């Protein structure tokens, strides 16, 4: 059965939803009037491994009842694009179960008549209302690695406001509209940071410690999101910050791009230590810094000014994507998908995995599979000549470069044609990074 990707349900789908509701209500009626002992024995008869039955809002459900309501919620979410966009699956499941429990109490009083389909709609509408009530505007604060600048200044890309960590407390206070209760304790921590390490911290407002920690981060992204319940809102805020960082980093060399990231997604240790020993010799040690952030001073302001038009366009794209637009734009969405894979590739420690991600980035733009299909797309959409030299040091043409990246590296690694454990991919990675960055920047002028 093909399901429509809209809020409108076909007759068979509506019947399938209602069948789950009928199963749940039938189970509820079957156990109505049971004592607690009888109910628990009934649950053991369903599945002896359960010590306690499932509970929703202080109401016990049978296992069959619980499973039926779970299936009702999953199918309803699959059929409703608005719910899928705005509600996390787990929170939607809780909303449906809570709505069911409230309606079940009313139905139980009505005796044994058949259950009208309107009851199913009432449960789902109540669940949607719960999601809507939880979907007000929320500002999320996310730690970032951007520029190692002695005098950082705040800047904005679309819905993402990047600020030095030291600006965070005043930013939160401004959002509150008044001085928060924790602000005095935060100032105590500023004056004596050791308070955070002593028992005295237990006397502080709990938020003071958290704000103090985040205020010491080099950068913080503030993202205001509306129209999503809190868990999905957090995801969209993270998406917005990640895309804004990736788009900003696109203006830098890929080696510099890898130094910019959300702090929670920084996957490398700050310092890598190595130790080796030859027979009869003492150990030799090595230390390599993996410091995040791009070292810069006045260059940041110059970058912002020189790329102001591009950054305004980037902000518009990110805003559109996060604002839950019902009419996505093919070119712009494809560009953001490609940007996502490009930034992952830049951050990858493995050259082989990075090459795969760079090729996936180009595939995301072209919606094409295979080197020749990608080359044709580059020719038709971006007006590139397959005979153009794109790797001057190697004297490789566009066709040769795509073939090397996609066939000799990506496809052989993914499909098992090459034993990648002992292979070196530095050359392919560098080539893929430059080509991908070039294509993304060129594509941004037409998307």
Domain identity same for 201 and 218: yes
Mark whether 332 and 306 lie in a shared domain.
Answer: no
Q: Looking at the structure, do residues 259 and 367 belong to the same domain, yes or no?
A: no
Domain membership flag for residue 381: yes
Q: Is there a single domain that holds both residue 103 and residue 162?
A: no
Greatest alpha-carbon pair distance for the chain in Å reads 89
Residue 1 belongs to some domain of the structure = no
- Determine, yes or no, domain membership for 402: yes
Same domain, 174 and 305: yes
Q: Do 60 and 172 fall within a single domain?
A: no
Boundary residue ending a domain (110, 133, 156): 133
- Whether residue 236 sits in one domain with residue 166: yes
Q: Kindly state whether residue 3 falls inside one of the protein's structural domains.
A: no
Q: Are residues 344 and 437 in the same domain?
A: yes
Asked if residue 55 is part of any domain, the answer here is: yes
Domain boundary among 104, 133, 162: 133
- 272 within domain boundaries: no
pLDDT tens string, the chain, 447 residues long: the values are 334 444 456 677 888 998 999 899 888 888 887 888 888 888 888 887 776 778 888 788 889 999 999 999 999 999 998 999 899 999 999 999 999 998 876 665 555 567 788 889 999 999 999 999 999 999 999 999 999 988 888 999 999 999 999 999 999 999 998 899 999 888 888 887 676 565 455 678 888 889 999 999 999 999 999 999 999 999 999 999 999 999 999 999 888 898 999 999 887 888 899 999 999 999 999 998 888 999 877 678 788 888 999 999 999 999 988 886 555 566 788 899 999 999 999 988 888 889 889 988 988 888 767 788 888 888 888 888 888 887 766 678 888 888 888 876 776 777 666 666 767 788 888 888 988 998 899 888 876
Are residues 177 and 313 located together in one domain of the fold?
Answer: yes
Total domain count, the chain = 3
Domain span including residue 435 = 328-447
Based on the domain organization, do 247 and 101 belong to the same domain? Answer: no
- End position of a domain, from candidates 133, 159, 192: 133
Same domain, 94 and 148: no
Residue 42: which of 12, 54, 420, 317 has the closest Cα?
54
Q: Is there a domain that residue 393 lies in?
A: yes
Which contacts qualify for 423-429: CB closer than 8 Å, 24 or more apart?
A: 423/352, 424/351, 425/351, 425/352, 425/354, 425/355, 426/351, 428/351, 428/355, 428/404, 429/351, 429/354, 429/355, 429/358
pLDDT of res. 328: 55
| pLDDT computed for residue 198 by the predictor | 57
Please answer whether residues 131 and 87 qualify as being in contact, where contact means their C-beta atoms are separated by less than 8 angstroms.
Answer: yes
Residue 126 shares a structural domain with residue 160:
no
Residue 311: inside a domain:
yes
């Amino acid at each position: 059965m093909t399901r429509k990707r809209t809020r409108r349900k076909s007759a068979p789908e509506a019947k399938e939803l209602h069948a789950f509701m009928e199963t749940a209500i039938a189970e509820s009626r079957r156990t109505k009037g049971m004592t607690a002992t009888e109910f628990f024995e009934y649950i053991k008869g369903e599945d002896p491994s359960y010590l306690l039955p499932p509970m929703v809002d202080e109401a016990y459900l049978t296992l069959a009842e619980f499973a039926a309501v779970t299936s009702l919620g999953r199918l309803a979410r699959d059929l409703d694009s608005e719910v899928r966009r705005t509600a996390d699956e787990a929170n939607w499941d809780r909303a449906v179960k809570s709505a069911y429990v409230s309606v079940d109490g009313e139905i139980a009083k009505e005796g044994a008549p058949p259950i009208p389909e309107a009851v199913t709609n009432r449960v789902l509408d109540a669940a949607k209302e719960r999601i809507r009530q939880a979907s007000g505007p929320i500002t999320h604060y996310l730690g970032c690695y951007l520029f190692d600048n002695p005098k950082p200044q705040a800047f904005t890309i679309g819905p993402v406001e990047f600020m030095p960590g030291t600006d965070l407390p005043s930013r939160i206070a401004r959002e509150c509209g008044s001085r928060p209760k924790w602000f005095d304790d935060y100032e105590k921590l500023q004056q004596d940071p050791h308070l955070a390490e002593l028992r005295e911290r237990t006397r502080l407002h709990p938020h003071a410690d958290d704000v103090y920690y985040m205020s010491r981060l080099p950068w913080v992204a503030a993202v205001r999101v509306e129209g999503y319940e809190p868990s999905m809102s957090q995801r969209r805020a993270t998406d917005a910050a990640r895309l804004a960082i990736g788009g900003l980093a696109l203006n830098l060399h890929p080696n510099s791009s890898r130094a910019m990231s959300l702090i929670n997604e920084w996957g490398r240790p700050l310092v890598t230590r190595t130790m080796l020993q030859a027979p009869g010799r003492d150990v030799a040690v090595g230390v390599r810094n993996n410091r995040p952030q791009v070292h810069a001073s006045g260059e940041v302001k110059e970058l912002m000014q020189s790329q102001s038009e591009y950054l305004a366009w980037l902000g518009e794209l990110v805003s559109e994507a996060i604002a839950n637009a019902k009419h996505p734009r093919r070119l712009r969405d494809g560009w953001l998908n490609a940007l996502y894979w490009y930034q992952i590739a830049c951050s990858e420690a493995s050259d082989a995995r990075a090459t795969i991600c760079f090729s996936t980035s180009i595939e995301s733009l072209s919606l094409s599979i295979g080197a020749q299909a990608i080359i044709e797309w580059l020719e038709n959409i971006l007006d590139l000549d397959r005979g153009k030299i794109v790797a001057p040091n190697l004297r490789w043409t566009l066709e040769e470069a795509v073939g090397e990246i996609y066939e000799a590296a990506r496809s052989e690694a993914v499909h098992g044609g090459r034993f990648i454990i002992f292979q070196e991919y530095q050359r392919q990675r560098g080539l893929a990074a430059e080509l991908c960055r070039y294509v993304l920047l060129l594509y941004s002028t037409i998307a």
